[in-house]
Amino acid sequence: MASIGHIAVGMALGRAYSPDPKVARRAAVALTLVSLWPDVDAVGFALGVGYGESLGHRGATHSLLVALAVGLAGYVVAERRGLPAMRTAVFVAVVAMSHALLDTMTYGGGLGCALFWPLSDARFWSPVRFIPIAPIGMRLLSARGLWVMARELVIFLPFWAYALWPRRKPASA
Ligand SMILES: [Zn+2]
């Protein structure tokens, strides 16, 4: 994936988080970062970490159990800021899990996701795979990279529409 889908999910759930546009905007930024965070493991390529290792790409950070832990961190942060802690935890965990699950729906190379790390290093694929894998790094700016991005834009159109649809103005009394 070219991350466009992950961004769409983060933005859509940010909007769903709160009816207050100001809160929803902040939630959209925060949840988009949560949605993208598992791919920090891509620095492993530069550091010489093997793709198939626990800390390799789509390893530990793409685990559903780690996503739950991230949700827990969301709970703590929300509680400190006076936000609804349980609601925040659920949104954060769902967005973090969506990243790994969407990655398992890609095709075109690479490895699946270590969904159950640290219990298992096994990599998993979804039985349904319809999202083309993105070329890594600057190669994203190739013809194939642009095709992947365009396709992701289309696949995630419902998320974009929901995230960006103008809100109805509150009736002025
Ligand atoms: Zn990923």
Q: Is 58 helix (H, G, I), strand (E, B) or coil?
A: coil
The total number of structural domains in the chain stands at 1
Task: Give the structural domain span for 70.
Answer: 4-164
Q: How far apart are CA 109 and CA 134, in angstroms?
A: 9
Span from the CA of 1 to the centroid of ligand 1 (angstroms): 7
Contact present, 107 and 133 (Cβ < 8 Å): yes
Mean pLDDT of 122-142: 87
**For the ranges 61-65, 123-127, 130-134, which has the lowest average pLDDT?**
130-134
Span from the CA of 169 to the centroid of ligand 1 (angstroms): 37
Span from the CA of 58 to the centroid of ligand 1 (angstroms): 6
Closest CA to 95 of 9, 4, 3: 9
**Residue 169 in domain:** no
Span from the CA of 167 to the centroid of ligand 1 (angstroms): 31
Q: Give pLDDT tens digits for 92-103.
A: 999 999 999 999
**Residue 171 in domain:** no
Span from the CA of 53 to the centroid of ligand 1 (angstroms): 15
Q: Give pLDDT tens digits for 6-20.
A: 999 999 999 999 999
Q: Which residue has the tokens 């550091």?
A: 47
**Residue 120 in domain:** yes
Q: Of all residues in the chain, what percent carry a pLDDT higher than 90? A: 76
The pTM is what? 0.91
Span from the CA of 39 to the centroid of ligand 1 (angstroms): 5
Span from the CA of 144 to the centroid of ligand 1 (angstroms): 19
**Orientation of helix 143-155 relative to helix 4-17, angle to 10°:** 30
